[in-house]
């Protein structure tokens, strides 16, 4: 199982139910992949500490590394 969350932004984070679900998922042993707002969202510190920042400079070589890590975590590849 893999949890994918497409954008944790300011408006989404204001929903207590959404915030609770996101925090639950990130605390669970299930691998999670999410996009998050770069700034302007208070209370994301615990999640932000586990963020891999994707930039123009690193995106090309980072994709295969992240894909390999996700495959390892879900048990679908070497590792």
The answer to whether residue 73 sits within a structural domain is no
The answer to whether residue 47 sits within a structural domain is yes
The answer to whether residue 77 sits within a structural domain is no
The pLDDT, as a whole number, for residue 77 is 61
pTM of the predicted model as reported, rounded to 2 decimal places: 0.68
* The pair of three-digit structure tokens given for residue 3, joined into one six-digit string: 């949890």
Q: How many residues does the chain have?
A: 79
Convert the pLDDT of each residue in 19-70 to its tens digit.
Answer: 899 889 888 888 888 888 877 788 787 777 878 888 899 989 998 998 898 8
d(CA 26, CA 31): 8
The answer to whether residue 42 sits within a structural domain is yes
Q: Which domain holds residue 28?
A: 3-54
Structural domains of the chain, count = 1
The answer to whether residue 79 sits within a structural domain is no
The answer to whether residue 9 sits within a structural domain is yes
């Amino acid at each position: 199982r893999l949890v994918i969350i497409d954008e944790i932004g300011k408006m989404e984070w204001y929903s207590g139910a959404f915030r609770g679900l996101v925090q639950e998922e990130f605390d669970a042993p299930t691998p999670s992949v999410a996009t998050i707002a770069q700034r302007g969202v208070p209370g994301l510190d615990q999640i932000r500490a586990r963020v891999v920042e994707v930039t123009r400079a690193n995106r090309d070589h980072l994709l295969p590394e992240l894909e390999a890590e996700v495959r390892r975590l879900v048990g679908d590849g070497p590792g």
